[in-house]
Structure 1
């Protein structure tokens, strides 16, 4: 299969859908946190608390399902080659960052599901603590990497995932 120069439309749509849902759940976990606090303290969550927690959970389930589709599309469609003329370290960091992103976009929803639906406290701790922190770090590195590629190295990497 010849190397393509941009990501396919389905790849770009899936990328941005997953990104929006991940940001939504990272930035607005309050409904789930309130529900968990009430349940842990033996109080009864209100319908609004339950609805808010469900929105967080459903977004997580959507992330998991879209990540599965995204991997299937990725393996069937391939990806553009890394830009030429850049340090090998940069290509290594891109591969590591992307690998971690995939691991984390599976780990976050799976631990969240285990915590919310199965009541596993360890999963809740790992979900809201180490995995969430690591996801923030990797997302920031991913964004910084795209910006460095675009503005410093003047590559088309950012364009490939936006307008093609």
Structure 2
């Protein structure tokens, strides 16, 4: 097998787009935390951004679970040429960390929002709270959620740099494994 299945490839690119969008909104939250989101965007736009961020975060969690199930059910195509040494170790490590963070961040956001005693919204549904209200815990969880987002950004940058290296410099057909066409 030379390529991931079409469903795996679609999930990869859909998740990638969602991660970029979630990072953009999350970094906006972090950048405007001191100035106050409501004072910059207004209350209605801020509420909409939070709802969209929560909705796509939960959707990301669901898609990641599907992606992990597919990974166990379908074989992983071999690298051609095979990765060896430190490159193989770094590649596996980055993928593992991305999977952990892309499962953990939505759960952490859900926990933080619950502890903040705010509704956890998924489209127009309100999901159950996972924690009792606890403002101190909410603050800590939101801090970790933000740091996790920064970690995802850094890992994605390394992942993209490696993909570009294989595609544009090495021209070793590595991108064929995950490309859509």
Same fold (TM over 0.5): yes
Partner of 1:83: 80
TM-score by length of 2: 0.76
**Pairwise mapping of residues 2-41 of structure 1 onto structure 2 (< 5 A)?**
4-29=1-26, 30=28, 37=36
State the Cα RMSD in Å: 2.4
**Pairwise mapping of residues 1-164 of structure 1 onto structure 2 (< 5 A)?**
4-29=1-26, 30=28, 37=36, 46-84=43-81, 86-119=83-116, 120-128=138-146, 130-163=147-180
Gaps of 5+ in 1: 40-44
Partner of 1:42: none
Structure-2 separation of matches of 1:153 and 1:112 = 39
Paired residues in the alignment total 155
Gaps of 5+ in 2: 117-137
The structure-2 alpha-carbon separation of the partners of 1:32 and 1:144, relative to structure 1 and needing over 3 Å to count, comes to closer
TM-superposed CA distance for 1:83, in Å, is 2.4
TM-superposed CA distance for 1:65, in Å, is 0.5
Deviation per CA, 1:101-157, whole angstroms, max 9, x where unpaired? 1011012111111112332221100011x2122111100010011111122322222
TM-score by length of 1: 0.83
The structure-2 alpha-carbon separation of the partners of 1:85 and 1:116, relative to structure 1 and needing over 3 Å to count, comes to closer
* Shift >4 Å, 4+ stretches: 31-39
